[in-house]
Amino acid sequence: MKLFLSAICLFAFAMTIPANDIEQIHQELQKNQLAIQELDRSPAPSGKKYLYISSSFGKSKLEDQSQLQEIKSALIEKVECVNTSYSRGKKFDQFDLDKRRLEKLEKLAPWLLQRKMVNWVTIAQTGALQFTDAKRMFHGFRITYRPQYDEKMAKEEADYIDEVLTRGSLAPSPEFRDDRDLSSPTEGIITTCVIKTSSSFGEAEIVDTLVFKGGASTLSYAKPDSTIFNVLERNKDWKDNIIVHDVTGSMSPYTIQVLLWHQLNFESNRNLGYVFFNDGNNMLDQDKIAGKVGGVYFAEGNSLDQVKRVAKNAMFSGYGGDLPENNIEATLRGIEQFPKAKNVVMIADNWATPRDLEFADKLALPIKIILCGTHWGINTAYLDLAKKTGGSVHTIEKDIVDLAKLHEGESFELNHITYKILKGKFVKIASL
């Protein structure tokens, strides 16, 4: 679905969202609330980890602080402020306690509140009926982050790439694995089983709940991400392309999609070449100079084996390191390597802002940006890049075109989030 912005520009009463504004994050916590019986302390989903920063019931002091600095260079997806709905006094103000805990968190890790893409959520545990129940429950913050990619993970992903390309599809059919007899379920009984399927980080075992109704069972399970397939299928008019693809650790599920799409659509000859980049071949972060980071690899589009081999080589040669990536450097080198290209398709990690945006003025072609991981909104740096180059931004569901036609003060809405141009830059805003 294409989103033609010139047709839906709007002017809304709104407020900008400063990345490090405690008041704004506190408002976001009040808006994004989830009530559950009790927080599940099971291990994080595949490809992610949890860090718990605990606090005592009714107190703002935060404990377990030492590990915060260890995740400073990690990609933080979500911060959950966890409390209990039980209180010992009628005048108790939970929102005030949450805010005081947030202020403590800012003192410990100011960088965390400055991350633009973090999703802030309040988890209210409702299972406490008395003080002893509430006291034993977890209170504080649970931080969801992606672990640092390493050689072991790269080897696992390379093996999975081979499996997917051999199979010719992203995911096998769900496979039930449960020792109990589920052939004659009892109506209304809720049980749990494990299925083997494919998550957005590759194959994984996922615990899910079966609810039996009238002798039949209903089951939902994680489906593999299909961002790349969706965008390229919607835009079959893209020809003579350079695919510029980030292959750092967080992008491995999308690397699988790129290679599978290339294999399944090889005869179409749509892509002249591929540029894979890893932000410096494991160069130390402090040694990275924008525009000269390296870790850029090329493959001709007319070879199945070469594209697969070069992608794997780029994956094994560098895991990314810090959050920013060398998108613009890789794109400029790709245009130079494949001068006959008419389109540049950048496949980018929505969570990682390019470190070299200062060189965007040198780009001679419009950049079509496929953004991966946009479920909590679009990184506005990519909107700015697309607008500057006369390009477009593409998510799993929408094609955002005509960005260059937007002027100061104009805005558009996508998935209940409004993006407005203020002082020449896109800003994510919240409607009042």
Tokens of 263: 């294999």
Strand 271-277 relative to strand 296-300: parallel, antiparallel, unpaired? antiparallel
Residue 412 belongs to some domain of the structure: no
Residue 199 belongs to some domain of the structure: yes
Residue 141 belongs to some domain of the structure: yes
Tokens of 167: 């199979």
Regarding whether 140 and 106 lie in a shared domain, the answer is yes
Whether 372 and 361 have beta carbons less than 8 Å apart is answered as no
Give CA separation, 56 vs 61, 62, 300, in Å: 7, 8, 58
In this prediction the pTM is 0.76
pLDDT digits (tens, 9 = 90+) for 361-390: 999 999 999 999 898 889 999 999 999 999
Tokens of 265: 């659509």
Regarding whether 208 and 294 lie in a shared domain, the answer is no
Residue 25 belongs to some domain of the structure: no
Regarding whether 208 and 109 lie in a shared domain, the answer is no
Regarding whether 383 and 277 lie in a shared domain, the answer is yes
Whether 343 and 241 have beta carbons less than 8 Å apart is answered as yes
Residue 258 belongs to some domain of the structure: yes
What per-residue confidence (pLDDT) applies to 4? 59
Regarding whether 240 and 383 lie in a shared domain, the answer is yes
Residue 165 belongs to some domain of the structure: no
What per-residue confidence (pLDDT) applies to 400? 96
Convert 69-103 to b/e letters by CB count within 10 Å (16 or more is b).
eebeebbbbbbbbbbbebbeeeeeebeebbbebbe
Q: Last residue of a domain, which of 109, 131, 146?
A: 146
Q: The domain spanning residue 263 has which CATH number?
A: 3.40.50
Residue 413 belongs to some domain of the structure: no
Give dist(CA 205, CA 257) in Å, integer: 20
Regarding whether 248 and 337 lie in a shared domain, the answer is yes
Regarding whether 184 and 277 lie in a shared domain, the answer is no
Regarding whether 388 and 327 lie in a shared domain, the answer is yes
- Identify the domain containing residue 121 by its residue range: 32-146
- Name the domain count of the chain: 3
Residue 421 belongs to some domain of the structure: no
Regarding whether 374 and 270 lie in a shared domain, the answer is yes
Q: The domain spanning residue 67 has which CATH number?
A: 3.30.1330
Tell me which residues of the chain have a pLDDT lower than 70: 1-20, 171-224, 430-432
Regarding whether 232 and 131 lie in a shared domain, the answer is no
Regarding whether 175 and 79 lie in a shared domain, the answer is no
Strands (E), 270-311: 271-277, 296-300
Regarding whether 236 and 212 lie in a shared domain, the answer is no
Instruction: Determine the number of helices (DSSP H) and then strands (DSSP E) in the chain.
Output: 10, 21
